[in-house]
Amino acid sequence: MTLAYDSNDISKMPLDIGGWLKKKNKGNPHCVLCNSILSVRNLHNDRDTHFLHGANSQCPSVASINVSSSYLKNLPKSRGASAHVRDFVRDNLYGVFSRMRAVLSAITWLEFKECCENAKRLQVWDLVDLPVELIPYVLLTCKDSFPVSKYRTHSASFFLEPNPSVGSYWNFSPTRKRIIYEVRGQSGTIVAHEIDATPAQGSVISQIIALL
């Protein structure tokens, strides 16, 4: 695990091991993906100091199963609760695709279609309180892994930042989710992408379809 946040830090800023060691008045390091408490290993050996999960961790960074979408299973759902979010995607296909492409540059329209197929199967449109601004990022987590391709040198999986404190999954005081993490291929490198909290508007495709 290469990134952690401090349990004393309400902003949950991700830190690498160097940033962690420099920090004063630290709490416990928490995993930015699975939210579990990490230990710091080899503290007195500068070259090898690193964060480590406990035994039997199910964290996607260490488990062989890279299941980005597993969090969706346990969230509250009610039939049609996010139908308005689905309608937003339908009306703003280009905007939503562009927002996903800003995080994963080589995403194709076929992969976008696959994300939408999975979203339907995973009952994303029944999620309670899903903010419309987050839908491009939720769709990225609906595909467990984006494989290496002609235009992509590493596979990629996506995870929304966990909720470290009381509050609903999507919104926690004083803000809502701000980061989506990308776990890259075999190396397990973690990249933090800032979430754009504005609606992903862009209706050119819908306008063209309406014209024809």
List interacting residues with Zn ion (CB under 5 A). 31, 33-34, 59
Q: Which is nearer to Zn ion, 16 or 46 (CB)?
A: 16
Q: Which is nearer to Zn ion, 31 or 139 (CB)?
A: 31
* Cα–Cα dist 174/20, whole Å: 24
Q: Which is nearer to Zn ion, 34 or 127 (CB)?
A: 34
> Looking up tokens 């492409």, which residue turns up?
101
Pairing of strands 29-31, 4-6: antiparallel
Tell the smallest beta-carbon distance from residue 98 to Zn ion (Å).
30
Q: Which is nearer to Zn ion, 68 or 92 (CB)?
A: 68
Tell the smallest beta-carbon distance from residue 168 to Zn ion (Å).
21
Helical axes 93-103 vs 204-211, angle rounded to 10°: 150
Q: Which is nearer to Zn ion, 34 or 119 (CB)?
A: 34
SS3 state of residue 69: helix
Token pair, residue 123, equals: 């009952």
Token pair, residue 25, equals: 């008045």
Helical axes 109-121 vs 93-103, angle rounded to 10°: 100
Token pair, residue 152, equals: 């992509």
Per DSSP, what are the bridge partners of residue 146?
156
Cα of first residue to Cα of last residue in the chain, in angstroms, is: 50
Tell the smallest beta-carbon distance from residue 161 to Zn ion (Å).
12
Q: Which is nearer to Zn ion, 34 or 139 (CB)?
A: 34
Tell the smallest beta-carbon distance from residue 31 to Zn ion (Å).
3
